[in-house]
Amino acid sequence: MELRSKVPSGPIDQKWTRHKFEMKLVNPANKRKYSVIVVGSGLAGASASATLAELGYQVTCFTYHDSPRRAHSIAAQGGINAAKNYQGDGDSIFRLFYDTVKGGDFRAREANVYRLAEVSNEIIDQCVAQGIPFAREYGGLLANRSFGGAQVSRTFYARGQTGQQLLLGAYQALMKEVQRGQVKLCNQHEMLDVIVVDGQARGIVTRNLVTGAIDAHLADAVVLGTGGYSNAFYLSTNAMYCNVTAAWRAYRRGAGFANPCYTQIHPTCIPVSGDYQSKLTLMSESLRNDGRIWVSKKADDDRAPGDIPEDERDYYLERMYPAFGNLVPRDLASRRAKDMCDQGKGVGETKLGVYLDFEDAIERLGADVIEARYGNLFEMYERITGEDPYRVPMRIYPAPHYTMGGLWVDYNLMTTVPGLYAIGEANFSDHGANRLGASALMQGVADGYFVLPYTIADFLARAALEPVPEDHPEVSRTLEDVRSRIDRLLALKGDRTVNSFHKELGRLVWDYCGMARNASGLKEALERIPELRQEFWENATVVGEGESINQTLERAGRVADFLELSEVMCLDALIREESCGGHFREEHQTPEGEAKRDDEHFTHVTVWEFTGPDSPPREHREPLEFEYVPPTQRSYK
Amino acid sequence: MRLKLHVWRQASPSDRGGFATYEAEASEHMSFLEMLDVVNEELESKGQEPIAFDSDCREGICGTCGMVINGRPHGPWKRTTVCQLHMREYSDGDEIWIEPWRADGFPIQKDLIVDRSAFDRIVAAGGYISVRTGSAPEANAIPVAREKAEKAMDAAACIGCGACVAACPNASAMLFTSAKAAHLNLLPQGQPERHGRVLNMILTMEAEQFGTCTNHGACENACPKEIKIEVIAMLNRDYLRALLKAG
Ligand SMILES: Cc1cc2nc3c(=O)[nH]c(=O)nc-3n(C[C@H](O)[C@H](O)[C@H](O)COP(=O)(O)OP(=O)(O)OC[C@H]3O[C@@H](n4cnc5c(N)ncnc54)[C@H](O)[C@@H]3O)c2cc1C
Ligand code: FES
């Protein structure tokens, strides 16, 4: 496997412009001769489909959802970053670039990040023109807020529903192209494999989730905008259906998988309440602007929060990080909460939680101000927990939220399989080892609207592809592979439910490859995951048939892939003998317990190559260079 | 708590379907869908087919979930989707009837899952503002009065779940269609395509087997996002204007 990043030469602020000029164009009259498959209708997939169709390509867009509008992007709350500097507070493309590289703990590719910052402004223009009802100031101009500890106000938002509004914008643009006949939309279709012919991605195999039909679809290029894999942890803030299957199947067909151990744990989620828990709910990060985080100074303190006097409370973030207090970055806030619970100071019935208290803020600002700021979040919290956060402190706990790792792509967003692209959260992307708040939406739409449509043209113009006949042996073979795997799943008639395997796997990955990792735990996980996988293939039970809606079968395929991915996640975490961003290795910390990077040995992307079902994956490295933002140790003291 | 559930089971679109009864054991901390998850786990471990129902975000934003509980779309709580409903609403011994959305525009696919792709087609007919990617003017070149933006956002908050259709005695899709039209028609960016949008969306809505609106108001009551029925009045006005203009 060869990793050529294809970063253009020249000064960083001219790379993208120059590259756009140097890339080949497809003659407008010829565009309709090219067909592109886009898998995914989230922000990345919908924006790419709509734009490619507008340009004249023939697009087919697949989603397992019953409507493209339901993709997980819909759930993003906080906002989207852009370097508009509307607030005149000193923001710039360079500052957004700088913050993102530093926030990623110096594990992202500089040129990609710069391009992301550069196109961020066009995104806002595009979205406003589409009618996205962003928050406005009284004068009618766009409002901003500061988000996730950024020192400038560069986040655009639509109440607490920014992802919803951005996705609806992209969805509407997509539906317009469906109406024009430029996009063929395939709802309720799950992609289960990539068809690779002569080393090039030439199509996919899908299962129609309603009829069970297995079909091959051919095209000149395939784009995966299939989201992240946080559900490897079973419990996460991701939607129930989010899964790694598309990316994983691509990996098994030769696409390198980069940095799988880089996962983000969000500090402010509603804690688990019981074994039946199906998913976790994120409480916006903005709550930390006014809420104070604390636990009792005493372990195993069973008193109600109101009965614990002020001097027996430990506002541990304020104590440890006087400069940033409750606003330290996500990874620190998460790890410290875990420490407190490990010391037996956790709160709530399960003891896996810490308080987020608004008492002082309500006293200082009044309940009405707090309601205006967080009313909808408080209501959401109360609905789930039955507790009133105006009177009782919220209980929060960290939860898996986002995956920085994903399919390796070059500067053109192409994976190591020619003709196969990955966009949005599905690629290993621009966030290095840690993503900043409000940057995932930015990246998803940047990829889909502004990057991929150019870079794919260059590929199509140069590739000189011959049409693939429908009865090509590779097509039949891939169809056969998919069919036999489904048959194998349907034949499982053991005595454990698929869900019980997913739960057990999630607990393993959370315990050993979650917020803090160490060599012995990871080795333990690396022994147990293959055992669990084997048990799955022997003892799981999949009821029902293949010819109609069968949600157990769908889940079984996804869990089977998580059982493979999580092993590579742990392997990746084991060999990365440093701490960086969301990857915290207990062996590598400063005396104060902070993450300690090892730039000398680990300034690279780790990329895994599939070598067969029974042999370990092969490790490759893409070295990273930092010309514009020299690596420094993060400090939030 | 122990509950008795009567759940609509229907193997396929052509199957007649009927209610099946299950005993469920639930804790008050569970969400309603988690209660059903537990029932399904049990069915699966006995080798029986679980109840097919759809849900994804489980936090009230994606619009995937939807079922009629004791006659009410999304169940008894106001401003709530069924995925946000929690079991503390119920007590030991309760009987619960669970059905899919029922409307000609939403054919049943299996059990509680219905086909809502008609909503996509209504949007495709005009629920957008045409902007070629990259051709947009500088964002702040189009100021939008704050109240306008807020009102547009109120309408844009629709999650497309279909509860409005399920609640309507005529199974009309007027609230859904009007909410999308209102969102776009309220904004300056939406003006050039306003008339065509309204005509085409209404035409498509009618072609999709949804009933006509008789101002019943059940939709507003059932809407988990509290979309107001005034958007319907707005659409009606726009429709008349568009018809006059089309002459
Ligand atoms: C609760 C929450 C809040 C968030 N808030 C923010 C925020 O405020 N700001 C921010 O920047 N980011 C936020 N994020 C992150 C951000 O929302 C996501 O990273 C981003 O939306 C991902 O977009 P995407 O297009 O890559 O993938 P998704 O939106 O996940 O879309 C994936 C698509 O792929 C399809 N798909 C997947 N696999 C297959 C398959 N095998 N076959 C067919 N179709 C398939 C799905 O149907 C779906 O259409 C948040 C995330 C969560 C969980
Ligand atoms: S599952 Fe998303 S709204 Fe209920």
Confidence of residue B127 (pLDDT cuts 50, 70, 90): very high
CA of A72 relative to ligand 1 center, distance in Å: 4
B174 and B219 assigned to the same domain: yes
pLDDT in tens, B168-180: 999 999 999 999 9
Angle separating helix axes A15-22 and A110-129, nearest 10 degrees: 80
Q: In this predicted structure, what is the pLDDT of residue A593?
A: 82
Q: Are residues B71 and B24 in the same domain?
A: yes
Residue B56 Cβ contacting ligand 2 at under 6 Å = yes
**Rounded Cα–Cα distance for residues A535 and A508 (Å):** 15
Is A64 touching ligand 1 by the criterion CB < 6 Å?
yes
Amino acid at B134: G
B126 and B43, same structural domain?
A: no
Ligand 2 binding pocket mutation candidate from B34, B59, B116 (most atoms within 8 A of CB)? B59
What residue ranges do the domains of chain A occupy?
267-399, 473-597
Residues of A in contact with B227 (CB under 8 A): none
Nearest residue (by CA) to ligand 2, atom 3, is B60
Residue appearing with tokens 């680990």? A602
In eight-state DSSP terms, residue A203 is E
Which candidate from A54, A278, A543 shows the least CB-CB separation from B133?
A: A54
What's the confidence (pLDDT) of residue A592?
Answer: 81
Q: How many structural domains does chain B have?
A: 2
What confidence tier does B246 reach under pLDDT thresholds 50, 70, 90? confident
- Which residues in chain B are closer than 8 Å to A165, comparing Cβ atoms? 153, 156
* Unique residue bearing structure tokens 């319907």: B232
Report how far residue A154's alpha carbon sits from residue A144's, in angstroms, rounded to the nearest whole number: 6
How far is the centre of ligand 1, averaged over its atoms, from the C-alpha of A239 (Å)? 9
Q: Is A443 within 8 Å of A467 (Cβ atoms)? A: no
Q: Are B100 and B167 contained in the same domain?
A: no
A292, A357 in Cβ contact below 8 A? yes
A401 C-beta closer than 6 A to ligand 1: yes
Is A406 close to ligand 1, i.e. is its CB under 6 Å away?
no
Give yes or no: residues B99 and B81 share one domain: yes
CATH number, domain containing residue B80:
3.10.20.30
Give the tokens for residue A237.
């803030």
Residue range B196-216: mean pLDDT, rounded: 96
d(CA A608, CA A613): 14
Please state the atom number of ligand 1 nearest to the C-alpha of residue A63.
Answer: 44
What CATH number labels A473-597?
1.20.58.100
For the cut 80, the answer to whether the pLDDT of residue B61 exceeds it is: yes
Query: What pLDDT, on the 0 to 100 scale, is given for residue A625?
Result: 96
Residues of chain A with pLDDT under 50: none
pLDDT attached to residue B42: 97
Q: Judge if B99 and B195 occupy the same domain.
A: no
- Give residue A323's pLDDT: 86
CA-to-CA dists, residue A400 to A237, A513, B69, angstroms: 6, 11, 32
Show the 3-state SS of chain B: CEEEEEEEECCCCCCCCEEEEEEEECCCCCEHHHHHHHHHHHHHHCCCCCCCCCCCCCCCCCCCCCCEECCEECCCCCCCCHHHCEHHHCCCCCEEEEECCCCCCCCEEECCEECCHHHHHHHHCCCCCCCCCCCCCCHHHCCCCHHHHHHHHHHHCCCCCCHHHHHCCCCECHHHHHHHHHHHHCCHHHCCCHHHHHHHHHHHHHHCCCECCCCCCHHHHHCCCCCCCHHHHHHHHHHHHHHHHHC
What pLDDT score was predicted for residue B85? 97
Residues B99 and B161 grouped into a single domain: no
From A525, A420, A493, A418, select the one nearest A463 (Cα to Cα): A418
Among candidate residues A550, A448, A554, A542, the one with its CA nearest the CA of residue A492: A542
How far, in Å, CA of A476 to CA of A410, rounded? 30
pLDDT above 80 (res B238): yes
Pick A74's closest partner by Cβ from B62, B86, B131: B62
Full DSSP string of A394-420: EEEEEEEEEE--EE---TTSB-SSTTE
Decide if A499 and B41 are in contact by the 8 Å CB cutoff: yes
Q: What is the mean pLDDT of residues B140-157?
A: 96
pLDDT at A324: 86
Q: What is the mean pLDDT of residues B218-242?
A: 97
Judge whether A115 counts as a catalytic residue. no
Q: How far is B242 from chain A (nearest CA, A)?
A: 20
Chain B (85-114) residues lying within 8 Å, Cβ to Cβ, of chain A? 86, 88, 109-110, 113
Extended strands (E) in A131-284: 155-156, 183-186, 189-197, 200-208, 214-218, 221-224, 257-258, 263-269
Any atom of ligand 1 within 6 Å of the Cβ of A362: no
In ligand 2, the atom with minimum distance to the C-alpha of B58 is 1
Which chain A residue has the Cα nearest residue B31? Answer: A384
Are A617 and A574 within 8 A, CB to CB? Answer: no
Indicate whether B83 and B15 sit together in one domain: yes
Helix, coil or strand: residue A301: coil
pLDDT tens string A166-182: 999 999 999 999 999 99
Q: What is the ipTM of this complex?
A: 0.98
| Disruptive mutation site among A41, A63, A276 for chain B (greatest number of B CBs within 10 Å) | A276
- Structural domain containing residue B69: 2-109
Radius of gyration of chain B (CA): 20
Interface of B with A in 196-235 (CB under 8 A): none
pTM assigned to the model: 0.98
Question: Is residue B82 domain-shared with residue B17, that is, in the same domain?
Answer: yes
Tell me which long-range contacts B140-143 makes (C-beta under 8 A, separation of at least 24).
Answer: B140/A84, B140/A86, B140/A141, B140/A142, B142/A128, B142/A129, B142/B188, B142/B189, B143/A136, B143/A139, B143/A140, B143/A141
**Is A276–B125 a contact, with Cβ atoms under 8 angstroms apart?**
no
A382/A513 Cα distance (integer angstroms):
31
Which B-chain residues 165-184 have CB contacts (< 8 A) with chain A?
A: 183-184
Please indicate, yes or no, whether residues B81 and B127 belong to a single structural domain of this protein. Answer: no
Is residue B96 located within the same domain as residue B124? no
Each residue's pLDDT tens digit, A571-611: 999 999 999 999 999 999 998 888 999 999 999 999 999 99
CATH of the domain at B204: 1.10.1060.10
Domain A267-399: which CATH number of 3.10.180.10, 3.90.700.10, 3.20.20.70, 3.30.70.100: 3.90.700.10
Q: What confidence score (pLDDT) does residue B199 get?
A: 97
DSSP line for A304-320: -GGGS-GGGEE-HHHHH
Asked whether the beta carbons of residue A159 and residue B153 sit closer than 8 angstroms, the reply is yes
* Residues 6 or more apart whose Cβ sits within 8 Å of residue A599: A106, A631
Instruction: Tell me what pLDDT residue A243 has.
Output: 98
C-beta B61 within 6 A of ligand 2: yes
A17 touches B: beta carbon within 8 Å: no
- Chain B CB within 8 Å of residue A491 CB: no
Distance from CA of A223 to the nearest CA of B (A): 18
Q: Considering A330, A517, A555, A597, which one is annotated as catalytic?
A: A330
The reply to whether B96 and B127 lie within a common domain is: no
- What are the tens digits of pLDDT across the range A430-481? 999 999 989 999 999 999 999 999 999 999 999 989 999 999 999 999 999 9
Q: What is the pLDDT, as a whole number, of residue A331? A: 84
pLDDT digits (tens, 9 = 90+) for A340-386: 999 999 999 999 999 999 999 999 999 998 988 888 889 889 999 99
Whether residue B58 has its Cβ less than 6 Å from ligand 2: yes
| pLDDT score for B57 | 98
